[in-house]
Amino acid sequence: MAYIGVSPSNGVRRKHTYTATANQTSFSGAGAEGATLSYNDSNFVDVYQNGVKLSEADYTSTSGTAIVLAQGASVSDIVEVVVYDVFSVADTVSKSAGGTFDGNITAAGTLGVTGAFTSQGIDDNADGTAITIDSSERVMIGTTTEGHANADDLTVSGSANSGITIRSGTSSNGQIFFSDGTSGDDEFRGIVGYNHSNNRLTLTSNAGAGTFELYSTGVQATIGNAAGAYIAVLVNDGNDVDRYGMAISCGSDDASGTNYALRFADGDSGTQGYITFSGGTVTYGAFTAFHPCVIPNADNNADSQDNAYPYGTLLEIASLRYSQKNGADTERGLLYNVQKSSSAKSKAVIGAYGSSMNGGPDEETNMHQTLILGDGHILCNNENGNIAVGDYICTSSTSGEGMKATSICTTIGIAREAITFSNSTAKLVAVEYGYRQFVPEDLEDRIKALENA
């Protein structure tokens, strides 16, 4: 007969032994073992007389405290009553009705929960922290309601200044990984992590192709394989007027000293220039401004990223054009159709060729730079002789080349280096770009210039 005892401290059964008197039928109270006879269910009682098990017809067991024989026993008969315990334990959890565990639970195998799961933990400040996993496999911490109308997989809710802490070892890094759900190494798509060695918070995308780092001295963003893409795009587009872009604030409150608002560097971090300010004056160095321009198809493959002309070639305006928005011309966003300068002392000169912008971030075609302000070079020949520092540069009679200005004319730059020519081969001359009218300083030269104009 299957059996469970009363408790771990009791035996699996209790035996009560009695020595009968003449014709004794009822047996109760304490037996030879000293335990008082009691039972809860007659089905869990066995009665023996002189070692022979009696059938249920030979006795009655209904009172719970006595056994009554159908026939009286003989003198000195040994009557044994064996009681198998039937019990209920108060400190248990029912399989069907459920219940509550007050102590720790340890499971060596898998714990499976088919319904909602709720855990009430205690944090370091003795505040309750509830964890709920509902039937839709959503996890909620500090709440029993998902945090977003689109049913977030994880919702964390708490009082002011609360949040999520990821704690790693003393010299280890803490990380959150993002994947696309596929198997193998290809599932990796990004990491948000803390780098212990340099105290930086890092956002890494696509196995290191791009990173964004936030640390004590600033922010650093890098792109690995994203050639031709913008590193950052800041948008404040509400389709209305008077919106704001980016603001940079740095330096002392009175703007004293040299404050570096922007630094420009090449691919290996070599400095190319700065935008700085001091005491209310913003400075640029080195700085060159350009006009976007369109080159004649005959001189240019509109889709090629190669330069259409040699750097420093002088260009003049062929016609004016506007950029279009929604298929209509607008008076904003000027573009110029340009060509190589076609005559000496051209009044249509606009600047010097810089480089192609084809295939840029906006997938430009037939778009180039015409340099108009700042530092750069102009391709010059010896048509008006050698060039000294401070000489004005105008177009020459050779297409696309400049020369020293000697008479009243429109100029496009001032020489910042002296050039001596040994033949008619054009050379690049360092200049300060700028559209100016040249007039000789000497009175006699002015008269000659006016006579030759």
78 CB-near residues (< 8 Å, 6+ apart): 17, 18, 19, 20, 48, 49, 50, 51
On whether both 150 and 173 belong to a single domain, the answer is: no
392 is a domain residue: yes
Token duo for residue 395: 């177009």
Within 13 A of 359's CA, how many CA atoms are on the CB side?
A: 11
Q: Is residue 280 part of a domain?
A: no
Report phi then psi at 350, rounded to 5: -120, -30
Residue 449: DSSP 8-state: H
pLDDT tens digits for 228-274?
667 777 788 777 888 888 899 988 999 999 999 999 988 788 999 99
CB 68 within 8 A of CB 28: no
pLDDT at position 6: 46
Domain boundary among 133, 156, 179: 156
Which residue, among 259, 256, 251, 291, has the nearest Cα to 276 in the 3D structure?
A: 259
Q: Is residue 208 part of a domain?
A: yes
Whether residue 145 is found in the same domain as residue 182:
no
Are 309 and 451 within one domain?
yes
Q: Computed from CA positions of residues 203, 204, 205, 211, in that sequence, does the dihedral angle turn out positive or negative?
A: positive
In a domain, 27, yes or no: yes
Distance of CA 82 to the CA centre of its chain: 74
- Within this chain, do residues 359 and 439 fall inside the same structural domain, yes or no? yes
Residue 121 and residue 73 share a domain: no
Please check whether residues 229 and 373 belong to one and the same domain.
Answer: no
Q: What is the pLDDT of residues 335-347, one digit of tens each?
A: 899 999 999 999 9
pLDDT reported for residue 223: 61
Q: Give a yes or no: residue 405 inside a domain.
A: yes
In tens, the pLDDT along 408-439 reads: 899 999 999 999 999 999 999 999 999 999 98
Q: Is 99 left (phi over 0), alpha (psi -120 to 50) or beta?
A: left
Q: How many angstroms separate the CA atoms of 58 and 96, rounded?
A: 39
Structure tokens at 104: 């720790």
Both 122 and 57 in one domain: the answer is: no
Q: Give residue-wise pLDDT tens across range 361-385.
A: 778 889 999 999 999 999 999 999 9
Residue with tokens 């709920």: 132
**Closest to 133 in 3D by CA, of 123, 122, 141, 124:** 141
Are residues 449 and 374 both part of a single domain? yes
Does residue 256 sit within a domain?
no
Do both 123 and 192 map to the same domain?
no
- Give the count of domains, the chain: 4
Same structural domain, 321 and 441: yes
- Structural domain contains residue 3: no
pTM of the entire predicted model:
0.59
Q: What is the mean pLDDT of the chain?
A: 83
Q: 172-205, pLDDT tens digit by residue?
A: 777 777 777 665 555 667 778 877 777 777 777 7
Q: What is the pLDDT of residues 274-293, one digit of tens each?
A: 999 999 999 988 889 999 99
Query: What is residue 452's predicted lDDT score, i.e. its pLDDT?
Result: 63
| CA Rg value for the chain | 49
Which strands sit side by side in the sheet containing 52-53, from one edge to the other?
13-19, 78-84, 45-49, 52-53
| Encoded tokens for 43 | 């089905």
The edge-to-edge listing of strands for the beta sheet with 24-28 is 24-28, 66-73, 59-60
φ/ψ of 126, rounded to 5, equals: 65, 25
Domain that holds residue 137: 117-156
Residues 126 and 190 grouped into a single domain: no
Q: What is the pLDDT of residue 3?
A: 46
**Do residue 361 and residue 230 come from a single domain?**
no
Is residue 1 situated within a structural domain? no
Helix, strand, or coil (residue 16):
strand
